C-alpha cells in the first residue's frame, strides 16, 4: 500500500472534505506546491486557486479555495480557507454569470474568485 | 354579569393571549439554539486549526511581529462589544454591556484611551442614549451571523491595530461577548485578542503539552504571520458572534419560559378571583331573592289580618 497522508479541507463555517490522500497540490503565494506523505513540516499561505487532492482510492478531488493556509505536520495536512468549495458543488452557470458581472463591473477580486471557481469546476 | 366579574374575565383573556405569544417565542428560540449550537460546532475545526497554526509560527520562529509583542506603553485600546438586535432576552444585552463598562473602566484606569465598536442594535441604543462615542457599529445579523459579517466587523479593527497609535491606531484589541456554557448558563466574558499572549493561545488550543514540529514557512515566517493574524482575528470574532447568537437564543428562551410561567400563574389567580366574584354575585342574588320573598310573605301575612 502506498503511503498516505490525512487531509482536512476546512472552511470557516464547515468541514468541506476530509480523507486519505497520496498527493495534494495547492497554490501558495510563491508558486504551486505538491505535498506527498512524509513531507517536511510546512506552513504556507495559499493564493486563491484550485486545490487538487489525489485520494488513496485513485480518485481526484478538486476544490476552489479562497484566502487560506496549508499546514502539514505528522502526516496530517490541513487546508484552511475562508471559502472552499468542491468542484462538484460549484454551479458552472452561476460562476460564469458571476464572472461576466465581475468583468463588467471591473471588480478584480470578484473576477478572480469567479475565475478560480470556474477553473476548478471545469478542470482546466 | 357584575362589573367586577367582567373586568376579571377581560384580564384573563388578555393574559392568555400574551401567554400564547410568549409560548410561541419560547419555542422558536429553543429551535434556534440548536441551530446556533450546530453552527458553533461547525466553525470549530477552522478555529482550532488556525490557533494551532498561529501557535506554531509564534513558537517555532523567532519572528518579532507587532501583533504578538506588547507595546511598551499602550495608549489606546479598542473594545468590540457584541449585543443583540432585539430585546425580550432577559438580561442578555445589559449583562454584556455591563461587562464592557467594567472593562472600559479598567482600561481607563490603566491610562488607556478606549475606542468602542458595537455589534447589535441594543448596544448601539444604549450608547446612543448616553451620548457616548462609538467608533463603529453594525446591526442586523446577530440572530445568525455569517463569516462575511465577521469579516466586516474585523476589517476596521485590523486596520486600526496596524496603524501607528499616534495616527489614531490602537495597541490592544479586546472583545466582549457572551459565552455559551450550556442551555441554562451564559456568561459575559471579556478577552484580549491582540497582542497575542502565547500562553493563552496554547491553553485554548488542544495542543497543550504537544511539541510542535519545526515548520518550513512558505514564503517566510513573517509573511505567514502577516497573513495568519487577520484571519485569526476574523475567526475569533466569528466564533464570538456565533456563541453570542446561541447565548441570545438561550437567554430569550429562558426569559420567555418564565414569562409563560408567570402568565400561567396570573391566569390561575385571576380565575380564582373571578370565581370568588361570581360566587359572591350568586350569593347576593340569592339573599336578595330570599329577602324579597320573605318581605312579600310578611306583607301579605299582615294584610290578611
Asked whether residue B280 is assigned to any structural domain, the reply reads no
Local confidence pLDDT in tens for the 124 residues of chain A: 568 889 989 888 888 888 899 999 988 888 888 988 888 888 888 888 888 898 888 888 888 888 888 888 888 888 988 888 887 777 777 777 777 777 777 777 777 777 777 777 776 5
Task: Give the range of the structural domain holding residue B105, as residue numbers without chain letter.
Answer: 26-257
A113 alpha carbon, distance to own chain's centre: 12
pLDDT in tens, B2-14: 788 999 999 999 9
Question: In terms of domains, do A31 and A74 share one?
Answer: yes
Task: Give the range of the structural domain holding residue A30, as residue numbers without chain letter.
Answer: 5-87
Residue contact A30–B224, C-beta within 8 A = no
A57: domain CATH number? 2.60.15.10
Number of domains within chain A: 2
Question: In terms of domains, do A38 and A61 share one?
Answer: yes
The answer to whether A25 contacts chain B (CB < 8 Å) is: no
B225: domain CATH number? 3.40.1380.10
Number of domains within chain B: 1
Question: In terms of domains, do A95 and A83 share one?
Answer: no
Lowest-confidence pick of A45-49, B25-29, B53-57 = B53-57
Residue contact A43–B56, C-beta within 8 A = yes
Asked whether residue B218 is assigned to any structural domain, the reply reads yes
Question: In terms of domains, do A51 and A76 share one?
Answer: yes
Question: In terms of domains, do A95 and A82 share one?
Answer: no
Asked whether residue B228 is assigned to any structural domain, the reply reads yes
Main-chain dihedrals φ then ψ at residue B145, nearest 5 degrees: -70, 145
Nearest-Cα distance to chain A for B175, in Å, is 19
User: CA dihedral in degrees (B159, B163, B169, B171; nearest 10)?
Assistant: 100
Residue contact A71–B223, C-beta within 8 A = no
Question: In terms of domains, do A68 and A113 share one?
Answer: no
Q: How many angstroms separate the CA atoms of A35 and A43, rounded?
A: 11
Say if residue B226's pLDDT is above 90.
Answer: no
Reference B174, options B107, B97, B119; nearest CA is: B107
Residue B267's pLDDT band (cuts 50, 70, 90): very high
Asked whether residue B273 is assigned to any structural domain, the reply reads no
Question: In terms of domains, do A98 and A52 share one?
Answer: no
Question: In terms of domains, do A39 and A96 share one?
Answer: no
Asked whether residue B55 is assigned to any structural domain, the reply reads yes
Question: In terms of domains, do A73 and A110 share one?
Answer: no
Nearest CB to A28; choose among B42, B49, B218: B218
Q: Is B268 helix (H, G, I), strand (E, B) or coil?
A: helix
Closest residue of B to A75, CA-based?
B213
Residue A121 falls in which region: left (phi positive, over 0), alpha (psi -120 to 50) or beta: alpha
Nearest-Cα distance to chain B for A1, in Å, is 26
Nearest CB to B223; choose among A8, A33, A45: A45
Q: Is the pLDDT higher at B203 or at B193?
A: B193
Mutate to test the interface with B, among A9, A12, A77, A82 (most CBs of B within 10 A): A12
Asked whether residue B171 is assigned to any structural domain, the reply reads yes
Closest residue of A to B227, CA-based?
A45
Average pLDDT, chain B: 87
Nearest-Cα distance to chain B for A100, in Å, is 22
Asked whether residue B35 is assigned to any structural domain, the reply reads yes
Reference B101, options B176, B161, B173; nearest CA is: B176
Question: In terms of domains, do A74 and A20 share one?
Answer: yes
pLDDT in tens, B142-162: 988 998 899 999 999 888 888
Closest residue of B to A17, CA-based?
B45
Q: What is the pLDDT of residue B107?
A: 92
Q: What is the pLDDT of residue B74?
A: 82
The answer to whether A11 contacts chain B (CB < 8 Å) is: yes
Residues of A in contact with B206 (CB under 8 A): none
Say if residue B185's pLDDT is above 80.
Answer: yes
The average pLDDT across B21-38 equals 93
Question: In terms of domains, do A106 and A56 share one?
Answer: no
C-alpha distances out from residue B255 to B22, B88, B91, B92, B248, Å: 9, 7, 9, 10, 10
Nearest-Cα distance to chain A for B149, in Å, is 12
Question: In terms of domains, do A28 and A80 share one?
Answer: yes
Asked whether residue B207 is assigned to any structural domain, the reply reads yes
pLDDT in tens, B196-222: 766 666 565 555 555 666 777 877 878
Amino acid at each position: 500500500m502506498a503511503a498516505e497522508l490525512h487531509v482536512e479541507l476546512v472552511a470557516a463555517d464547515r468541514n468541506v472534505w476530509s480523507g486519505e490522500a497520496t498527493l495534494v497540490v495547492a497554490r501558495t503565494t510563491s508558486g504551486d506546491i505538491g505535498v506527498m506523505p512524509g513531507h517536511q513540516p510546512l506552513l504556507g499561505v495559499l493564493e486563491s486557486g484550485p486545490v487538487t487532492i489525489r485520494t488513496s482510492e485513485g480518485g481526484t478531488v478538486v476544490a476552489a479555495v479562497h484566502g487560506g493556509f496549508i499546514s502539514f505536520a505528522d502526516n496530517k495536512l490541513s487546508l484552511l480557507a475562508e471559502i472552499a468549495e468542491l468542484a462538484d458543488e460549484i454551479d458552472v452557470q452561476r460562476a460564469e454569470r458571476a464572472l461576466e458581472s465581475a468583468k463588467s463591473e471591473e471588480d478584480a477580486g470578484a473576477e478572480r474568485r469567479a475565475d478560480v471557481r470556474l477553473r476548478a469546476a471545469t478542470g482546466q | 354579569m357584575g362589573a367586577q366579574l367582567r373586568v376579571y374575565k377581560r384580564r384573563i383573556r388578555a393574559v392568555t393571549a400574551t401567554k400564547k405569544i410568549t409560548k410561541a417565542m419560547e419555542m422558536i428560540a429553543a429551535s434556534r439554539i440548536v441551530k446556533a449550537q450546530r453552527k458553533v460546532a461547525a466553525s470549530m475545526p477552522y478555529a482550532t486549526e488556525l490557533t494551532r497554526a498561529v501557535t506554531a509560527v509564534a513558537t517555532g520562529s523567532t519572528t518579532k511581529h507587532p501583533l504578538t509583542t506588547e507595546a511598551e506603553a499602550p495608549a489606546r485600546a479598542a473594545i468590540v462589544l457584541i449585543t443583540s438586535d432585539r430585546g425580550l432576552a432577559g438580561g442578555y444585552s445589559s449583562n454584556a454591556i455591563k461587562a464592557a463598562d467594567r472593562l472600559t473602566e479598567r482600561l481607563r484606569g490603566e491610562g488607556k484611551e478606549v475606542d468602542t465598536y458595537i455589534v447589535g442594535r441594543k448596544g448601539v441604543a444604549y450608547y446612543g442614549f448616553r451620548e457616548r462615542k462609538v467608533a463603529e457599529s453594525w446591526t442586523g445579523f446577530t440572530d445568525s451571523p455569517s463569516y462575511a459579517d465577521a469579516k466586516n466587523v474585523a476589517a476596521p479593527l485590523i486596520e486600526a491595530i496596524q496603524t501607528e497609535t499616534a495616527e489614531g491606531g490602537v495597541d490592544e484589541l479586546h472583545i466582549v461577548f457572551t459565552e455559551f456554557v450550556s442551555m441554562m448558563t451564559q456568561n459575559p466574558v471579556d478577552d484580549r485578542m491582540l497582542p497575542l499572549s502565547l500562553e493563552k493561545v496554547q491553553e485554548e488550543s488542544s495542543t497543550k503539552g504537544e511539541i510542535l514540529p519545526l515548520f518550513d514557512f512558505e514564503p517566510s515566517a513573517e509573511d505567514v504571520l502577516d497573513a495568519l493574524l487577520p484571519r485569526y482575528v476574523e475567526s475569533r470574532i466569528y466564533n464570538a458572534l456565533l456563541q453570542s447568537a446561541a447565548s441570545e437564543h438561550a437567554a430569550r428562551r429562558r426569559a420567555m419560559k418564565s414569562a409563560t410561567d408567570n402568565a400561567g400563574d396570573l391566569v390561575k389567580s385571576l380565575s380564582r378571583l373571578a370565581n370568588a366574584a361570581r360566587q359572591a354575585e350568586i350569593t347576593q342574588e340569592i339573599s336578595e331573592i330570599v329577602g324579597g320573598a320573605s318581605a312579600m310573605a310578611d306583607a301579605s301575612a299582615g294584610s290578611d289580618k
